[in-house]
A and B are shown apart, each in its own frame.
Chain A
């Protein structure tokens, strides 16, 4: 297992390097002079020159890139232009809120997906299966930027049960997490249904049934674990859309996480901060895939062999 994870980890290293290069190049895609763009049209030439020197924009591209990578390895992501704080500490400040939102979302999604997926798989083409299929198609087509406001209208404005936005109360997390959990849950339910239905047809399930286990018991005790493999892989990929979904959802609900920080950074033209956010999102995404490889290996030792 350790060797397997080490191998997978080594495969991720070039991806991280590639992602860092793309993020580095972003700032050079800005039309015109980046320092001018960041300071706005009314900036003084002296200020522009000072910023160019601070960001190292006056040096050759190759040197800039090496300096960027070197600083990155030391954990130095530069200084935010708007906040005047180190980008790294700004990111660390916001990371817990986004992590909390992602965890709550995943928990909610699994709470929806596992019962629905199991019920649907037990009787393919049955009532539960059809209902799950329809609900999943609808949920996957619901844009979070619409679902969020709809939930606010219903639960905050009409019923007055939950806060509209912010993160002051523990209940504040419910609406943003639910907004994200709908589509994630739908996707997971669909996948679990397919992979569980396949497992239920295999010989070991038939032999369990022959020993007198009910369909449900055979599914839960024997097939579910094997059916989880593909689902875990998808969770890893799904975390990606969760993270970007968080950008939109955090904006809707004024949730103080990384997504909102990125949107702020973009509107302030604070490009070092934009770079930091994008890089952290990519690193989190790549890291989650490694984590899910570990979970897959733990679920099914054959994977990690």
Chain B
């Protein structure tokens, strides 16, 4: 029987892989450096050598799109990596230790959640100044919370399971129980969240760049290109359409990958993973019985 979600995960995964390859080989794929201007040919329409035409400074749009992948994707991956690491550790620590540790970590998480969406990232970059490192800091600061919530919830659910009781009662220390016995069970849900989070970070970075809070020009970023493009909607709509399509494609691919993996995990659990026989009525991942 075919597991549900495989197709969508594979589709999203391959699109992301292609985008990553584009980013990796940008210097060979792009026909021009991102900042190469030719003011005589500004806003030139699509030609054979410049399939997406030129922008308002005569720069090749396709080349800038390719270089832009090199900005958005690595930044997204770095932010997600930091968020996964910090969030999973803090979430697991909060869930496993409980008490004051949990209260402190949860309070910080709730405080950050009191700021809607990317507002905190916008304010941070606004005061710290638009630089790559500040973008990473700001986006990671709001990014880890989601992973902490997921891993805390999973940890709370798994904490009373027999296999963890067994590890504890055979004398394993707290950190050993967490790293050797608990963490492997968090990999699934955290990976799903990471794929979905990558889309969110790429979207957030594009939004910040759109507001002029991204990596400063002349570096090519999709959000910044989109912002410049909206100045010329009347004469050259393609300047806004092309970078937006790149952002959309990346976010959609990340979503497909995350959704597909989640459905696979769920259907895998329902197909009778061994854990189910020992703990009837609590399929992995279906936290709490609703109502």
Give me the interface of A with B, judged by CB distance under 8 Å.
15-16, 18-19, 22-23, 26-27, 29-31, 137-138, 140-146, 149-150, 152-153, 157, 164, 198, 239-245, 247-248, 251-252, 262-263, 266-267, 271, 274, 278, 281-282, 285-286
Given A248-B207, A266-B126, CB of A239 within 8 Å of CB of B116:
yes
Which listed segment binds A: B58-66, B90-98, B240-248? Answer: B240-248
Q: Determine whether the beta carbon of B123 is less than 8 Å from that of A278.
A: yes
Closest residue of B by beta carbon distance from A243: B116
Q: Is the interface of A mostly helix, strand, loop or mixed?
A: helix
When chains A and B are docked, how far (Å) is the Cα of A10 from the Cα of B275? Answer: 41
Q: Determine whether the beta carbon of B259 is less than 8 Å from that of A137.
A: yes
Is B206 interfacial (CB-CB < 8 Å)?
A: yes
Q: Determine whether the beta carbon of A143 is less than 8 Å from that of B247.
A: yes
Is B119 interfacial (CB-CB < 8 Å)?
A: yes
Q: Is the interface of B mostly helix, strand, loop or mixed?
A: helix
Shortest beta-carbon distance from B216 to chain A in Å: 14
Q: B residues within 8 A CB of A138?
A: 252
When chains A and B are docked, how far (Å) is the Cα of A140 from the Cα of B118? Answer: 16
Q: Determine whether the beta carbon of B247 is less than 8 Å from that of A146.
A: yes
Q: Determine whether the beta carbon of A30 is less than 8 Å from that of B127.
A: yes
Given A15-B111, A141-B199, A157-B237, CB of A278 within 8 Å of CB of B119:
yes
Sample (20) of A-B pairs whose CB atoms are under 8 Å apart: A15-B110, A19-B114, A19-B115, A31-B128, A31-B129, A141-B251, A141-B255, A143-B203, A146-B241, A146-B247, A149-B237, A153-B241, A243-B117, A247-B119, A251-B211, A267-B212, A274-B123, A278-B123, A281-B116, A281-B119
> 18 new A-B pairs (CB below 8 Å) besides A145-B247, A266-B122?
A18-B107, A19-B115, A29-B127, A31-B128, A137-B259, A143-B247, A146-B248, A149-B241, A239-B116, A241-B117, A243-B117, A244-B117, A244-B118, A245-B117, A266-B211, A271-B127, A278-B119, A278-B123
Is B223 interfacial (CB-CB < 8 Å)?
A: yes
Is B213 interfacial (CB-CB < 8 Å)?
A: yes
Closest residue of B by beta carbon distance from A266: B126
CB-contacts of B163-209 with A (<8 A): 199, 203, 206-207
When chains A and B are docked, how far (Å) is the Cα of A263 from the Cα of B118? Answer: 13
Q: A residues within 8 A CB of B255?
A: 137, 140-141
Q: Determine whether the beta carbon of B252 is less than 8 Å from that of A145.
A: no
Q: Which of B122, B129, B248 contacts A143 (CB 8 A)?
A: B248
Q: Determine whether the beta carbon of B119 is less than 8 Å from that of A243.
A: yes
CB-contacts of B112-158 with A (<8 A): 114-120, 122-124, 126-129
Q: A residues within 8 A CB of B223?
A: 145
Closest residue of A by beta carbon distance from B244: A146
Shortest beta-carbon distance from B236 to chain A in Å: 11
Q: B residues within 8 A CB of A26?
A: 123-124, 127
When chains A and B are docked, how far (Å) is the Cα of A80 from the Cα of B129? Answer: 20
B111, B128, B206: residue with the most chain A Cβ atoms closer than 10 Å: B111
Q: B residues within 8 A CB of A245?
A: 117
When each residue 231-242 of chain B gets 1 if its CB lies under 8 Å from chain A and 0 otherwise, what string results? 001100100110
Q: List the 8 closest pairs (A to B, CB-CB), nearest first.
A: A146-B244, A240-B116, A244-B117, A141-B252, A141-B251, A285-B116, A266-B126, A18-B111
